[in-house]
Amino acid sequence: MLYYLHQLEHFFGPLRLFRYVTFRGSMALVTALLWGIFVGPKIFAALQRLKIKDVVRDASVIRDLAALHEQKKQIPTMGGLAILSGVCISCLLWLKPNVYGCCALLTGLFLGLVGAIDDGLKLKYKNTRGLSGRRKLAAQAIATVCVLWILLHATGIEEHIRQLYVPFLKNPLWTNIPFVALAIFWFLVIAGTSNALNLTDGLDGLAVGCTLPVLLTYTVFAYVTGHIHLARYLNLPYLNGVEELSILCLAILGAGIAFLWFNAYPATIFMGDTGSLAVGGWIGCIALMTHQAFTLILVGLVFVAEALSVILQVFSYKTFHKRCFKMSPIHHHFELSSIAEPKIVIRFWIVSLLCALLGLMTLKLR
């Protein structure tokens, strides 16, 4: 919204700053950060008054982990509302309205609503079931089809949306992808990222801390992809307007840093599915729109490992009646291996940072 102030620069020269993505991105980060620091605690206090507390699985389900997580029963959940509201306010102020930014923002907000319903059902029935897996996947499929339909009907970008790029190759691997194949691919990325981040959200500060390097990486991807000279220099597909996604990335980054202030060990608030499904959906959308979906496997390796650990655990138990890990997702395996929670979290952060740096290196390997 404030972007249009640059049109008044002939009255006041410094207003031209509102034209630049770098300025608006920096201000988006600061806005979301300040919102999280000053407004976030009011939201958390309201959640505490409403007794919206985390629902921990019964000891018969999580066995030895129950004792380790006993104190988490008193911690409020749905703190993702602070992230969603901060990102929304920041983007309304600093994002230049275009099809990329609006579609990505609305997708995350929709998945945040799905997560809020899931959290609400858990609280209502005092169990960890919430929405069934099928209903979550159905909601994610609806979000995918809607955003893809809008993008394919936007002027001048259909050709780019139907292309499939992979790291290390200058040219698209597949052009003019049929809608059904494209929808399946987008669904796998958006649903996979959203659910993987949700699985990672099991220890204090783990999910949001691992998300920050990923967001920084995709801030760079979005900016260079939308910058004609940088895109040509790096042999990336130039997508006019996609640079606005870097502002969304920085808004989420600012909101995430503020949330981590309260979510770091020992946590005073949990984001719940409200936050994890939304942030995962945002990352998936941004990865797809910047043609860096396959790079997400490397950049978000922590999320991939968490999701794979659950898949392997279920497959192994159903097939061989044996467990691969003491418990899945894999961070619980390390917990039951007598590694302190803060040490697990910091080590995962380090891995996430290293993977993000490796992901950035792929920009020069084309």
User: Model confidence over 232-273: pLDDT tens digits?
Assistant: 999 888 999 999 999 999 999 999 999 999 999 999 999 999
Instruction: Please give the C-alpha separations between residue 274 and each of 40, 277, 349, in angstroms, as whole numbers.
Output: 14, 6, 22
Q: How many domains is the chain built from? A: 1
| Per-residue pLDDT at 328 exceeds 60 | yes
**Mean pLDDT across the chain, nearest whole number?**
90
pLDDT at 8: 84
pLDDT at 11: 86
**More confident: 61 or 150:** 150
**Is 137:194 a contact under the CB 8 Å cutoff?**
no
CA distance 252 to 247: 9
pLDDT at 57: 59
Q: What is the pTM of this model?
A: 0.94
Residue 244 tokens, joined: 């606005």
CA distance 20 to 175: 32
pLDDT at 60: 47
Stretch among 25-39, 193-207, 319-333 having the lowest mean pLDDT: 319-333
Q: What is the DSSP letter of 321?
A: S
**Is 284:311 a contact under the CB 8 Å cutoff?**
no
Confidence grade of residue 366 (pLDDT, cut at 50, 70, 90): low
pLDDT at 63: 60
Q: What percentage of the chain reaches a pLDDT higher than 70?
A: 95
pLDDT at 75: 87
By residue range, what is the domain housing residue 89?
A: 2-364
